[in-house]
Amino acid sequence: MSSEFTASLRQHIQQLGLNQLVLGLSGGLDSMVLLELCHQLTQSCSVKLKAVYIHHGLSANADQWANFCQQQCLKRQIPFEVQKVQLNSAANIEAQARAARYSALAAFVTAPQTALLTAHHADDQLETLLLALKRGAGPAGLSGIAALQSFAEGWLLRPLLEFSREQLEAFAKQQQLQWIEDESNNDSRFDRNFLRLQVMPLLQQRWPAFRQNALRSVSHIQQQQIFVENQLQQLLPTVMHANELDLKLLAEQDFTTQKLLVRGWLALTGLNPSTDWLERFFSELIGAKADAQPLLELDGQQIRRFADKAYITQMTEAPQAGVLLELKAGQQLNTAVGQFLLNRENNGTPVLITDDPLYLVFGLFSLPFKPAGERQSKELKQWLKLWAIPPWQRLQLPVLVQNSQVVAVLELASNATEEQANAFIDWQKS
pLDDT of 66 higher than 90: yes
Cβ burial 283-321 (10 Å sphere, 16+ → b, else e): eebbeeeeeeebebebeeeebbbbebbbbbbeeeeeeee
| 13 and 137 co-located in one domain | yes
Domain assignment present for residue 219? The answer is no
List the Cα angle 12/269/111 in 5-degree steps: 30
> Crossing angle of helices 255-267/210-235, nearest 10°?
90
348: pLDDT strictly greater than 60: no
Q: What percent of the chain has pLDDT over 70?
A: 84
Upper half-sphere CA count for residue 232 (Cβ side, 13 Å) = 19
The whole domain housing 37 covers: 2-206
- At 276-289, the pLDDT tens digits run 999 999 999 999 98
Q: How confident is the model at residue 318 (pLDDT cuts 50, 70, 90)?
A: low
Map residue 247 onto helix, strand or coil: helix
Q: Are residues 244 and 389 in the same domain?
A: no
Q: With respect to residue 304, please indicate whether it lies within any of the assigned structural domains.
A: yes
Residue 322: its pLDDT value, please?
Answer: 57
Query: What pLDDT does residue 335 have?
Result: 34
Under 8 Å between Cβ of 109 and 116: yes
Asked whether residue 376 is domain-assigned, the answer is yes
pLDDT for 77 beyond 70: yes
| Alpha helices per DSSP H over 335-390 | 380-386
57 and 199 part of one domain: yes
**Could you tell me if 144 and 262 lie in one domain?**
no
Burial 228-264 (b: 16+ CB within 10 A, else e): eeeebeeebeebbeeebbbbeebeeeeeebbbbbbbb
Yes or no: say if 184 and 59 are a contact pair by the CB < 8 Å rule: yes
The band of 241, judged by pLDDT with boundaries at 50, 70 and 90, is: confident
Mean pLDDT calculated for residue range 398-422 = 59
Q: What are phi and psi of 72, to 5 degrees?
A: -65, -35
Average pLDDT over residues 342-368: 60
Cβ 108 vs Cβ 22: under 8 Å: yes
One-letter amino acid at 252 equals E
Query: Residue 211 falls within a domain, yes or no?
Result: no
Q: Are 406 and 367 in contact, with CB atoms under 8 Å apart? A: yes
CA dihedral of residues 163, 169, 172, 176 (deg, nearest 10): -160
Which pLDDT score, from 0 to 100, does residue 303 have? 94
Question: Does residue 213 form part of some domain?
Answer: no
Boundary-marking domain end, from 279, 314, 349: 314
Return the closest-CA partner of residue 260 out of 284, 305, 132, 245: 245
For residue 25, the tally of other CB atoms under 10 A from its CB is: 30
Q: What is the pLDDT of residue 317?
A: 59
**Contact 279/304 with Cβ under 8 angstroms?**
no
* Structure confidence at residue 420 as a pLDDT band (50, 70, 90): very low
* Dist CA 133 CA 199 (whole Å): 14
- What backbone torsions phi and psi does residue 187 show, to the nearest 5 degrees? -95, 105
Q: Rounded to whole angstroms, how far apart are CA atoms 286 and 261?
A: 14
**Residues 301 and 347 occupy one common structural domain:** no
CATH of the domain at 91: 3.40.50.620
What is the end-to-end Cα distance of the chain in Å, rounded?
Answer: 83
Over the stretch 289-311, which tens digit does the pLDDT of each residue have?
Answer: 888 889 999 998 999 998 889 99
* Lowest-pLDDT choice from 152-161, 166-175, 238-247, 420-429: 420-429
- Return the pLDDT at 316: 62
Among 392, 226, 398, residue whose Cα is nearest residue 316: 392
Contact 22, 80 (CB under 8 A): no
In a shared domain, residues 267 and 404: no
Q: Collect all residues with Cβ–Cβ distance below 8 Å to 175 and sequence separation of at least 6.
A: 36
pLDDT at 72 over 70: yes
Strand order in the sheet with 358-362: 322-327, 358-362, 398-402, 405-409, 368-369, 378-379
Q: Are the C-beta atoms of 154 and 113 separated by less than 8 Å?
A: yes
Predicted confidence at residue 291, as pLDDT, reads 80
Q: Please choose, from the candidates 295, 291, 290, 296, the residue with its C-alpha nearest in 3D space to the C-alpha of residue 274.
A: 296
pLDDT value of position 123? 95
* pLDDT of 409 over the 80 cut: no
Q: Are residues 292 and 396 in the same domain?
A: no
| 22-40 tens-digit pLDDT | 999 999 999 999 999 999 9
Q: 30 and 148 share a domain?
A: yes
Domain count, the chain: 3
Mean pLDDT, to the nearest integer, of 127-140?
A: 92
pLDDT > 90 in the chain, percent: 55
Of residues 42 and 92, more confidently modeled: 42
In a domain? residue 212: no
The predicted structure's pLDDT at residue 398:
74
Lowest average pLDDT, out of 122-126, 141-145, 170-174, 313-317, goes to 313-317
Of 314, 330, 356, the position where a domain reaches its end is: 314
- Regarding whether 308 and 326 lie in a shared domain, the answer is no
Q: What is the pLDDT confidence band of residue 342, given thresholds at 50, 70 and 90? A: very low
Are residues 338 and 234 both part of a single domain? no
pLDDT at 292: 86
Averaged confidence pLDDT in the chain: 83
pLDDT at position 361 over 90: no
Has residue 416 got a pLDDT over 60? no
Which pLDDT tens digit goes with each residue over 163-214?
Answer: 999 999 999 999 999 999 888 888 898 899 999 999 999 999 999 999 999 9
Residue 327, pLDDT score:
57
> Does the pTM of the predicted model rise above 0.85?
no
* pLDDT at residue 351 tops 50: no
With 60 as the cut, is the pLDDT of residue 98 above it? Answer: yes
Q: What is the pLDDT of residue 64?
A: 94
In the predicted structure, residue 355 carries a pLDDT above the cut 70: no
CB-CB neighbours of 175 under 10 Å: 14
At residue 314, the pLDDT reads 79
Q: Strand (E) positions, 173-250?
A: 240-241, 244-246
Predicted confidence band of residue 399 (pLDDT cuts 50, 70, 90)? confident
pLDDT of 266 above 90: yes
Residue 61 lies in a domain: yes
Is the Cβ–Cβ distance between 222 and 143 less than 8 Å?
Answer: yes
The reply to whether 271 and 412 lie within a common domain is no
CATH code at position 252: 1.20.59.20
Q: Are residues 95 and 242 in the same domain?
A: no
- Which range among 168-172, 199-203, 343-347, 393-397 shows the weakest confidence by mean pLDDT? 343-347
Query: How far apart, in whole angstroms, are the C-alpha atoms of residue 37 and residue 51?
Result: 13
